[in-house]
Amino acid sequence: MVKINTDLCTGCGGCINICPVYALVLSKQDKAQANQNCNDCKICVRACPVNALSL
Amino acid sequence: MAEKYDVIVVGAGFAGLMAAKTAGEVGLKTALIEMKHDITAQRRADTQMILPMGDDFLDDRIIFNGKTGLMSFAHNGLSFKYDGPYRDIYAFHLYSVDGNCLRFGMANEQKKFGDRGRIALALDKSKAFASLLNQVKAAGVEVFAGTAVKDIKKTDGAVNVIAHDKIFSGTFCIAADGANSRIAQALGFNKDRGYYSSMNVLGYYMKNLKVPDPDTVYYVIAQYENTGVITALVPRPYDNEHAVVFICLDCRVDLFKFYEYFTRETKLPWFKGAEAKLINSSCGNMWSTIEKPFKDNVLLVGDTIWCQESENFGALLSGGKAAMAIAYALDEGKSNEEGVTSYLEFWDKHFFNSPHYKRDQIMGNYMLGAILKNEEIDYLFSKLNMVLKASIHPYTLFGELGQALGGVVPDIQKEMPQVLAGLGRMQQESPADILKDAASAGFPNR
């Protein structure tokens, strides 16, 4: 599952609507948060402008 | 049985907030859904903390009452109150990294005309969101923050908006969920829509930038790693403070590295001693404009329908107009496309088929950096060193530029013909062709 560095995440939400399997939402702190749907496709990793996501 | 709303608004940016406020105020049972928990935070980086003033756009203009903060659309009668500081913007200048510039107005000249000389207002966008949210709540709208939407399905007599943990049922839906809209995707709009590329954006707040004028918006057009990067310096309504936004249409470009390169290599002496703080970012898909922003009782507004061309102004106006069209449809007992004709006609007449609107024009800034090398951009701007009409208006900005360019073509032909060849490519080739390589690395949510 994709890992999220919440110190780097700006909460822009860009990854959320491009995730092909609806695996991302924003946490209560408005940081990206992944769920079990994640299939490690890396689209969000490539998309993140601040390199906050990794596998 | 879930309660049914007259209208469900998805997305709480400018378009969605204005839609929800307008719908609530005219008495519609309205739900506003937003993926962020804190709706007032501006977490998506963009250059648009400004509203163009003193000129028509989408057949309307904003009249601003500086004493009360009331922003009124003069032709459509829609309004909202902005409770926050603002700064008058008087000019818009485009720079090359080497320091030559193309000037739309000079602030000191424009200031002589008082309020009528300003071309835009710079707002605090978070405070604008907060102001609008207060008005949305006061209008009785039910607000669902922290709710990400996945899908939308039409059944007999209802549209169902499916979020991660809840389903909302409504007669109409307004999709205001932006450039990467899930609703546009779910309704199939992205399948045969032109896709340009996925953009990459970093947004900083900087203090003590040494720019020539505090009330001018500056864009720097650069070529970097064979693609265009725009650096926008937009004054904030606070002393010595700018939003500095780095934008690239190729998502492979590391903008942190560009930032280092740019602040080190540019001949512009603006960044020495400035304090910078990363505030926000974004990755948004650049899609071509949707011809008809309606399907299955869903009206699309703001960045969901176009390629960011209509800016905050169009987001606010389209949101308000869509809500009013739905109010009319329900009053008329026509919960269908015919009921919301006023919105579709507004969109078609004043945007999509407006003689002012040139498709893909917004891409021009990016194409310049993608096609011309930095020394060519610098040369081009050096030839265009006259002061053009003060404007930051998306329709009229480039009109005078074409004329000015016409006057220097013979010189350019003699001195640097490759610049003319590059400009010719911008005219002849579609942005999709020019950006083909960048697009291949993108992530369109079809």
CA B71/CA A26 separation, integer angstroms: 32
Please name the member of A22, A47, A49 whose beta carbon is closest to the beta carbon of B150: A22
CA B285/CA B211 separation, integer angstroms: 31
**Residue numbers in B near A25 (CB within 8 A):** 35, 148, 164
CB B287 within 8 A of CB B302: no
The domain that holds A25 is classified in CATH as 3.30.70.20
Please name the member of A14, A30, A46 whose beta carbon is closest to the beta carbon of B36: A30
CA B89/CA B78 separation, integer angstroms: 23
pLDDT at residue B366, as a whole number = 81
**Residue numbers in B near A32 (CB within 8 A):** none
CB-based contact (8 Å) between B303 and chain A? Answer: no
Interface test with B, best of A10, A31, A37, A53 (most B CBs within 10 A): A10
Interface test with B, best of A9, A18, A29 (most B CBs within 10 A): A18
CA distance A51 to chain B (A): 9
pLDDT at residue B365, as a whole number = 75
* Chain A stretch 23-42, residues whose beta carbon is closer than 8 A to a beta carbon of chain B: 24-26, 28-30
Strands B101-104 and B387-388, bridge-based pairing: parallel
Residue B352 is classified by DSSP as I
> Which parts of chain B have pLDDT scores under 70?
1-2, 360-362
**Residue numbers in B near A46 (CB within 8 A):** 251, 441, 443
| Chain A residue whose CA is closest to B42 | A12
Report the run of H or E that residue B63 belongs to, with start and end: strand B62-65
What domains can you pick out in chain B, each with its CATH number?
A: 4-85+124-193+288-352 (3.50.50.60), 91-116+196-287+359-440 (3.30.9.10)
Per DSSP, the three-state class of B204 is strand
CB B300 within 8 A of CB B172: no
Total number of domains in chain A: 1
CA distance B406 to chain A (A): 39
Token look-up 């992205």 returns: B190
Is B283's CB within 8 Å of A15's CB? yes
**Residue numbers in B near A15 (CB within 8 A):** 283
**Residue numbers in A near B178 (CB within 8 A):** 17
- How many residue pairs from chains A and B have C-beta atoms closer than 8 A? 87
CA B258/CA B244 separation, integer angstroms: 13
**Residue numbers in B near A34 (CB within 8 A):** none
The closest alpha carbon to B383, from B366, B362, B401, belongs to: B401
* Chain B stretch 69-108, residues whose beta carbon is closer than 8 A to a beta carbon of chain A: none
The CA-based dihedral angle spanning residues B58, B122, A8, B228, taken in that order and rounded to the nearest 10 degrees: 60
CB-based contact (8 Å) between B127 and chain A? Answer: no
pLDDT digits 0-9 by tens, B377-418: 999 999 998 999 999 887 777 777 888 898 999 999 999 999
**Residue numbers in B near A36 (CB within 8 A):** none
pLDDT at residue B362, as a whole number = 67
CB B377 within 8 A of CB B96: yes
Sheet of strand B62-65, all strands in order from the earlier edge strand to the far edge: B62-65, B70-73, B79-81
| Cβ neighbourhood burial of B353 (10 Å; 0-12, 13-18, 19+) | exposed
Token look-up 């369109």 returns: B444
Which residue range is the domain that position A14 belongs to? 1-55
**Residue numbers in B near A29 (CB within 8 A):** 37
| Chain B residue whose CA is closest to A22 | B150
**Residue numbers in A near B41 (CB within 8 A):** 11, 30
pLDDT at residue A21, as a whole number = 96
Facing residues of A4 across strands?
Answer: A53
Is A46's CB within 8 Å of B281's CB? no
Packing angle of the helix pair B14-25, B125-138 (nearest 10 deg): 20
CA atoms within 13 A on the CB side of A1: 12
pTM of the shown model: 0.97
ipTM of the complex: 0.97
Report the run of H or E that residue B377 belongs to, with start and end: helix B374-383
Please name the member of A14, A47, A49 whose beta carbon is closest to the beta carbon of B255: A49
